[in-house]
A and B are shown apart, each in its own frame.
Chain A
Amino acid sequence: MTDTTTIKQDRDAGFGDFVALLKPRVMSLVVFTALVGMLVAPGGINPFVGLVAIIFIAIGGGASGALNMWWDADIDARMRRTVKRPIPAGTVEPGEAMGLGIGLTLISVIMLFLATNWVAAGLLAFTIFFYVVIYTMWLKRWTPQNIVIGGAAGAFPPMIGWAAVTGDISLASILMFALTFAWTPPHFWSLALFVKSDYKDAGVPMLTVTHGRRVTRNHILGYTFVLAAVAVGLGLTSVGGPAYMAVAVIMNAWFIKGAVDIWRRTDADSDADSHLVERKFFKFSLLYLFVHFGMLLVEVTLTRFGMGGW
């Protein structure tokens, strides 16, 4: 009889590996935009209830991240950017990720319902369903418009935050959704123009690969116009005001100029200056989203002091 047991040393997960399954960086965007949606909504919410709602919206987002990593483990193992994620790295079993994802989905939706209302909880459940089933399982590997669909899932949190306070859906909350939704394609495709990715090897259709870089430039321009209309339109609703509008008009004019510059360029121009215009546009897009949601907060704060709003 032997009393030695072999345990593969790299296989046992620490707490951090389970946290990594929840995509903490995506979570921070979810927390920020959900918080803005909650704070700009008319009426008030008990601060502790608001905190609980934000926590469980974030956990719901994390749950969809874990389910995404469970389903996409085969893709993740083939791409440099994702090969160190817990499942391809071998620290977490696929089944564990699925269990964690489903468990946290149930907990977050039920807790959000108990803390706030069924509209917010229903929107959270739909967001997770949309990201995991519609995007991850169905459309991601099937259409080069996958970015647009995936962006929709990431755009729901401000609507959930709004619904947590009001219990309803309104024009302002839909336009907050539309802002992130229309922002994602130009943001991501500008990145795709200058980063050499291995999506192709992993079998994920990317617009730059399936339809070429010319078409990608056209798409960036098209979505940027849609985005500008949404951003300015949001400024006309109850959550907007002069301060938001002034910043939105300037930023969107600048963003459109960047998109037009990208549209005018050929790949030869782009290679000649190492994609300088595309890089600048991508960097600006990060600031763009943060400032727009930030200005909604500024506007609501000004309104509380009788200086903002229309």
Chain B
Amino acid sequence: MARIRADHQLHHRRLSRNIGLGVMLILFVGLVYGLTIAKVGTDPNDDLGAPWASPQEERTQ
């Protein structure tokens, strides 16, 4: 019976593809999360507020 050689070059290429795609998906999740924080945290019209908004502006909300 022939043994399956798992270290064939084909498997290396597949592994690189799978790891690459995994890394891309993790980065994508990170970007969407970061975007959410950036968007929600910088809207001067919401309660989370923009930290640099002046007290005057905040009072008028």
Contacts and interface: CB of A to CB of B under 8 A. Distances in A.
A14 B16 contact: yes
A111 B24 CA distance: 15
B38 interface: yes
B14 to A, nearest CB: 6
B34 A48 contact: yes
Interface in B4-51: 9-10, 12-14, 16-17, 19-21, 31, 34-35, 37-39, 42
A188 interface: no
A13 B35 contact: no
Given A14-B16, A18-B17, A9 B38 contact: no
Interface string A102-114: 0000000001001
Given A52-B35, A114-B35, A115-B35, A13 B17 contact: yes
Contacts of B16: 14-16
Interface in A28-83: 46, 48-49, 52, 55
A57 to B, nearest CB: 13
Given A12-B14, A13-B13, A49 B38 contact: yes
Contacts, number: 41
B10 A9 contact: yes
B13 A48 contact: no
Specify which of A9, A14, A18 lies most central, judged by the most chain B CB atoms within 10 Å of its CB. Answer: A14
A7 interface: yes
Interface residues of A, number: 19
A46 B17 contact: no
Interface residues of B, number: 18
Given A9-B9, A12-B13, A14-B13, A49 B19 contact: no
A49 B12 CA distance: 36
B31 A55 contact: yes
A100 B25 CA distance: 14
User: Which 7 residue pairs are nearest across A and B when measured between Cβ atoms?
Assistant: A15-B20, A14-B13, A48-B38, A14-B16, A15-B16, A15-B17, A46-B38
Interface of A: 3-4, 7, 9, 12-16, 18-19, 46, 48-49, 52, 55, 111, 114-115
21 contacts: A3-B2, A4-B2, A7-B10, A9-B9, A12-B13, A14-B12, A14-B16, A14-B17, A15-B17, A15-B20, A18-B17, A19-B20, A46-B39, A46-B42, A48-B34, A49-B35, A49-B39, A52-B31, A52-B34, A55-B31, A114-B35
Interface of B: 2, 9-10, 12-14, 16-17, 19-21, 31, 34-35, 37-39, 42
